[in-house]
Amino acid sequence: MSETSDEGLRDRFTRLVEDEVHTLGLSLSTPCRGMLERMVADGAQRMEHDKVVRSRDKVQLAADNICLFVNRLAVQAKAREGFPVADEGAFVKAQLEGCPLWPFC
């Protein structure tokens, strides 16, 4: 599947995040949700800027990477004894330990 804009990718990646969060039994604090939404938007915009929104391989890599990040977020929420709620501290820790993770960070 290929997307034609960063908006289409943003929607696709947002759905993937929501599905992964649900599958993991994770909840997101409001600040964490905002940080994750910003990460998704920035990644989709980067893909548009790099002109790879039609590349199936790049779209799949990005989809895999955002799911990987959500899994790392869940690990950090557990480590912070906040599970099932991931807060901004868990997000920052997942980002510090997991990035770079193209195209999101």
Domain limits of the chain? 6-97
Please classify residue 53 by burial: count the beta carbons closer than 10 Å to its beta carbon, then call 0-12 exposed, 13-18 middle and 19+ buried: buried
> CA-CA distance, 86 to 6, in Å (whole number)?
26
- Assess contact for 17 and 36: CB atoms under 8 A: yes
Nearest to 76 by CA among 93, 63, 99: 93
Predicted TM-score (pTM) of the model is 0.92
Tens of pLDDT along the chain (105 residues) come to: 445 577 899 999 999 999 999 999 999 999 999 999 999 999 999 999 999 999 999 999 999 999 999 999 999 999 988 789 999 999 999 999 999 999 999
